């Protein structure tokens, strides 16, 4: 484990544990982390906060409308993923809210141009969730960071 990190358990950690009674146990060891997503700890140079351990990829979900996407926030997430060598996918949700003459590439095309996969999703409620236009996410452990919240996030 890198110095500057806490030894606290985070989502995705693999552990060794021991049964202590019916339905009870105790964690004895946090196993080495293969990958992680972290960010610098504010006000503590050289220290980092772990967000998740052992992800295979990160999927950052941003609406294209309602609310408007914060591309600065997306940039910060992508930098954190890059620093941690974590492949990333951008999920642009609510593309059905664009006018017929608007192109989602106006907002997210730059990210595709520099090599990030961008999935486009509609928000219409259907059995099984939103309608994918171009899914790029693969089956893997991943970090899903929904920005803008709400029950209509399709990714």
Mean pLDDT lowest for which of 8-22, 46-60, 82-96, 117-131?
A: 117-131
Give all domains of the chain, ordered by start, each with its CATH number: 15-52 (no CATH), 55-147 (3.40.50.300)
For the segment 34-45, the average pLDDT, to the nearest whole number, is: 81
Mean pLDDT lowest for which of 13-27, 35-49, 95-109?
A: 35-49
Residues 6+ apart with CB under 8 A from 92: 62, 63, 64, 69, 104, 107, 108, 118, 119, 120, 121
- Does the predicted model carry a pTM greater than 0.85? no
For the segment 72-98, the average pLDDT, to the nearest whole number, is: 89
pLDDT at position 130: 53
The residues pairing with 52 across neighbouring beta strands, listed in sequence order, are 37
């Amino acid at each position: 484990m890198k110095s500057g990190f806490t030894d606290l358990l985070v989502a995705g950690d693999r552990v060794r544990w021991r049964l202590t009674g019916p339905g009870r146990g105790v964690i004895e060891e946090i196993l080495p982390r293969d990958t992680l997503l972290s960010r610098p700890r504010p006000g503590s140079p050289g220290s980092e906060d772990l967000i998740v351990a052992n992800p295979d990829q990160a999927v950052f979900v941003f609406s294209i409308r309602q609310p408007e996407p914060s591309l600065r926030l997306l940039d910060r997430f992508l930098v954190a993923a890059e620093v941690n060598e974590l492949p990333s996918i951008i999920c642009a949700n609510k593309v059905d809210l664009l006018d017929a003459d608007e192109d989602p590439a106006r907002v997210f095309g730059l990210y595709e141009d520099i090599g990030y996969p961008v999935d486009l999703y509609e928000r219409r409620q259907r059995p099984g969730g939103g309608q994918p236009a171009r899914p790029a996410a693969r089956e893997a452990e991943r970090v899903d960071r929904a920005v803008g919240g709400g029950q209509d996030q399709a990714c």
